[in-house]
Amino acid sequence: MAAREKFLVTGSAGCIGAWAMFLLDQEGTEVVGFDLSTDHRRLRLLTDQQGSMTFRQGDITDTESVLGIVATEGITHIIHLAALQIPFCQADPVGGAQVNVVGTINVLEAARRSSVAGLTYASSVAVYGPPHLYPDGVGDDSPLAPSTLYGAYKQANERSARVYAADYGVSSVCLRPCSVYGVGRDQGLTSAPTQAMVAAAAGTPYHIPFRGASTFQHAGEVARLFIAAARAEVEGAHVYNLGGPSVRIAEVVSLISEEAPGSEITYGGEPLPVPDHYDGSGLDGLLGGVEYLSMDEGVRSSVSRFRDLLADGLVAPPA
């Protein structure tokens, strides 16, 4: 760990970004949030105290802005989370590429030109293809076959990081989350289980528009893993899947019903177009073991927190 740490979190207004800001501030680490949005509503779901957090509005596609924030703030560690998710990339492919691909190049370039000690960035299991391509399971080095522009952009970023490591000596750790849930997860393809938890807490019906199974990771633990990965002392470009419980949507609905008896949560449709289980042993090795929250505890704590947030008027039932 560096003697003096100052983190930059790009995409700090997003779900995982807000959690990363909150957790770093809780441990007393200086942290700067960088985002085009000035809406900190997700962070307000976690804390009403700004603490030592600072925020800089900026565009991740603007090279000079990204280079400038890293240099002028004296950043030692970067957690790069700024991105547009699947629906937004599908609706605006050019804008998606500018944010997801050019934005990542800007971060890699900022790391190259500075004395950053640690860099981690978000990829996704969307880099993989449909489940039938992986009869023997999915490891960190399993073949990539993205079926969405979002996944293709993430694959490009992983390759770019490898080239930056080979050509310029920029080391990095890439993490591939799967179905992230919990407080602050309110958009994206796999946000539906979280929205179902909000609805159950509010006593309103909700339909999850897919079935099958997925690997679930709580937003808080994902943020904690990004922080740990940024602090890992590595050489070269490394890419890791996140592990976690593989749970069928039917079981998620059942767990929500146990926590909110009488809730009207349904599900149906096609399964998610990616595998439902991932080998997280590579990241376990890097970080010396990773423990993931069980799904029953994750649902219990999330529904309980959403009840409080609903009572305080900080969240609303999904439309």
Q: Is the pLDDT of residue 2 over 70?
A: no
Contact 118, 76 (CB under 8 A): yes
Tell me the mean pLDDT in the region 237-246. 97
Contact 212, 249 (CB under 8 A): yes
Could you give the 3-state DSSP secondary structure of residue 262?
coil
pLDDT score of 289: 92
Among 36, 306, 277, 269, smallest CA distance to 181 is for 306
Q: Is the pLDDT of residue 77 over 90?
A: yes
Contact 69, 56 (CB under 8 A): yes
Sheet of 213-218: strand order equals 179-181, 213-218, 246-248
pLDDT score of 189: 82
Q: Is the pLDDT of residue 197 over 70?
A: yes
Rg, Å, the chain Cα set: 19
pLDDT score of 46: 97
pLDDT band at 4 (very low <50, low <70, confident <90, very high): confident
More confident residue, 294 or 319: 294
pLDDT band at 295 (very low <50, low <70, confident <90, very high): very high
Residues sharing a CB contact under 8 Å with residue 136, sequence separation 6 or more, in sequence order:
none
Q: Is the pLDDT of residue 1 over 70?
A: no
pLDDT score of 51: 80
Tell me the mean pLDDT in the region 122-147. 95
What mean pLDDT value characterizes the chain? 96
Instruction: Answer yes or no: CATH 3.40.718.10 is held by domain 6-177+219-242+275-293.
Output: no
Among 183, 186, 181, 223, smallest CA distance to 309 is for 183
Contact 283, 290 (CB under 8 A): yes
Size of the chain in residues: 319
Q: What is the pLDDT of residues 51-64, one digit of tens each?
A: 889 999 999 999 99
pLDDT score of 33: 98
Among 163, 161, 156, 293, smallest CA distance to 229 is for 161
pLDDT band at 245 (very low <50, low <70, confident <90, very high): very high
Indicate if the alpha-carbon torsion angle 51, 56, 59, 61 is positive or negative.
Answer: negative
Q: What is the pLDDT of residues 268-279, one digit of tens each?
A: 999 998 899 999
pLDDT band at 49 (very low <50, low <70, confident <90, very high): confident
